[in-house]
């Protein structure tokens, strides 16, 4: 049984579909009953589990041959870092008690750094804690997801301005489409060959690195409307993020992450990662999240 936590997410649902196409038994672990039907229709066993509930996580792990682990940042928690660490602890305790032969963790570029990278330090914690589980480990570190631009897409389309915390606007950085991460995760789970190095660290990004200028130009091309990139001044980050409804601690995590990005610390770990490249382009990823009427007024 292949157990996929976060099966309802952008990455997880692709992993589930790929494993089912390969004829494997899959248990899709989701956070709400409303997500169950789609997975039952393709022949999955479905478990609804709160990642804070050790008993529920343990039930999901029963008879697991391989497990895909994800611990999302609880965005609506006042202290999201502490809440995510608690979820990680619950998952790791359950895995220690009943370790499957293979665990793949969805992680991030920069996860090798123990501090100074904001949200990414939580993926360092995930990797470190999983290192205490007696199993074969794979860490799949992904670049920034292209669909993250969906958060500011409405503003770009309505005002013609694309705000960004990436500085400078012409700097190229790695990104990746969620479906490419999900497809690679399934491939790695299906790889039953033992590796000399454990944990196995695999990185994935798109074939072409992009800049904020590229993102603005692509949105403009797709929508038929001019879009100007705007580097939000560093001193305005906290007010902007908290004004968008984030807690002070959440805003600080994001600010620290982009400080690390802009300093060049969020990248492939040299000499450690196996590098893979996803085929989905920025234009393809943005087209998939663009409102259907976005180009009608161009």
Mean pLDDT on 42-51: 96
Tens of pLDDT, residue by residue over 176-228, are 999 999 999 999 999 876 666 679 999 999 999 999 999 999 999 999 999 99
What is the reported pLDDT for 196?
Answer: 63
Considering only 3-17, 192-206, 250-264, 268-282, which range has the smallest mean pLDDT? 192-206
**pLDDT confidence of 43, banded at 50, 70, 90?**
very high
Query: Over 50: is that where the pLDDT of 298 sits?
Result: no
Q: Where are the domains of the chain?
A: 2-143+176-205+267-278
Q: Which CATH class is domain 2-143+176-205+267-278?
A: alpha beta
264: left (phi over 0), alpha (psi -120 to 50) or beta: left
What is the reported pLDDT for 87?
Answer: 96
Tens of pLDDT, residue by residue over 179-189, are 999 999 999 99
């Amino acid at each position: 049984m292949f157990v996929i936590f976060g099966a309802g997410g952008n990455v997880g649902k692709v992993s589930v579909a790929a494993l089912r196409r390969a004829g494997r038994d899959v248990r899709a672990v989701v956070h709400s009953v409303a997500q169950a039907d789609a997975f039952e229709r393709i022949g999955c066993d479905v478990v609804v589990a709160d990642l804070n509930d050790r008993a529920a996580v343990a039930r999901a792990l029963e008879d697991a041959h391989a497990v895909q682990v994800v611990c999302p940042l609880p965005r609506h928690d006042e202290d999201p870092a502490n809440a995510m660490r608690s979820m990680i602890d619950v998952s790791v305790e359950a895995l220690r008690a009943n370790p499957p032969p293979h665990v793949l963790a969805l992680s991030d570029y920069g996860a090798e750094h123990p501090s100074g990278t904001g949200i990414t330090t939580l993926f360092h914690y995930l990797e470190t804690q999983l290192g205490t589980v007696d199993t074969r480990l794979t860490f799949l570190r992904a670049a920034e997801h292209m669909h993250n631009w969906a958060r500011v897409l409405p503003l770009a389309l309505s005002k013609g301005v694309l705000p960004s915390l990436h500085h400078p606007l012409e700097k190229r950085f790695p990104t990746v489409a969620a479906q490419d991460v999900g497809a690679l995760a399934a491939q790695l789970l299906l790889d039953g060959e033992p590796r000399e190095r454990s944990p196995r660290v695999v990185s994935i990004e798109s074939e072409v690195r992009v800049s904020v200028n590229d993102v603005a130009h692509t949105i403009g091309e797709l929508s038929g409307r001019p879009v100007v990139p705007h580097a939000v001044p560093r001193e305005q980050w906290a007010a902007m993020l908290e004004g968008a409804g984030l807690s002070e601690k959440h805003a600080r995590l994001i600010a620290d992450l982009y400080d690390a990005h802009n300093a060049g610390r969020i990248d492939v770990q040299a000499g450690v990662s196996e590098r893979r490249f996803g085929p989905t382009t920025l234009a393809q990823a943005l087209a998939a999240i663009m409102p259907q009427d976005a180009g009608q007024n161009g």
